[in-house]
Amino acid sequence: MTEDDLKMVAALVQHMGHKIDQIAGNALSPIGQILIEELKAASHRLQGIVLHGNSSGAVSAPLSTQASVPLQSSVPELPAVPVQFHPAPTPVAPTAAALPAIDGVAQAAPQKKVLFLIDDDKDAQKVLAYMFERKSSFRVVSHTDPLKAWEEIKLSPPDLILMDLMMPGISGLDLLKNIRQINELNNVKILIGSSKSFDKDRIEVLKAGANDFIAKPYNFTELLLRLNKLAG
């Protein structure tokens, strides 16, 4: 790539960065906020490529244009030797003794912590699940029906729950109160998210037993930091 090419790409990347900043200044939905963060990250990666690119303009000649020179061997040709084939050894199944052990006990691989996403916004659910799959170590289970999620929580409690405050059927606040009434579910960490970020709403959910509160639209970096802190 020539120096002129690099200058043109740099100008395009800079223009794209300005456009992203203009869009980010507007009020966006949770999906829009997350997509803007991804676009910003892509723009920064492009800038890094341009800044560290090869500006010398030198292009190496293709290998096909180089003259081929026949190789002369001074080693005398040896007589052919018959090859004997042997059957492959039977594979041995791995045993517990072959795994890394501590005090003589084989150690199992750490299991991912389970995160329930409970929100009636299906589009936001898909984007969040995609982001968590890419950037977190959680095993994500999505629920758009809070009543069905409640039944699943009682049958198979997750490690963490991220749920919306305002949902049809049962609100996030009522679902939170139901969970905290069962002693076996007291260890489940719960993060409530809501566009209603008034102090009274925040205080109400914290009094009801939520471990944390986060305002919508989510900043995914902040959201992941809060969940990782709750997960310990």
User: pLDDT for 51-84, tens place per residue?
Assistant: 665 444 444 444 444 444 444 544 455 555 454 5
Taking alpha carbons only, the member of 139, 137, 117 closest to residue 127 is: 117
Reported pTM: 0.58
Q: Which residue has the tokens 């990347």?
A: 13
Q: Model confidence over 161-197: pLDDT tens digits?
A: 999 999 999 999 999 999 999 999 999 999 999 988 7
Confidence band (pLDDT; 50, 70, 90) for 111? Answer: confident
Using CA atoms in the order 62, 66, 70, 72, what is the torsion angle rounded to 10 degrees? -90
Given this model, what pLDDT does residue 57 score? 42
Q: Which residues contact 196 (CB under 8 A, 6 or more apart)?
A: 165, 166
Q: Which residue has the higher pLDDT, 46 or 204?
A: 204
146 in Cβ contact with 169 (< 8 Å): yes
Given this model, what pLDDT does residue 45 score? 72
Taking alpha carbons only, the member of 162, 156, 157 closest to residue 143 is: 162
Most confident range (mean pLDDT) of 8-22, 71-85, 195-209 is: 195-209
* 87 pLDDT higher than 50: yes
HEC string for 104-150: CEECCCCCCCEEEEECCCHHHHHHHHHHHHHHCCCEEEEECCHHHHH
Given this model, what pLDDT does residue 34 score? 74
Distance CA(202)–CA(197), nearest Å, equals 6
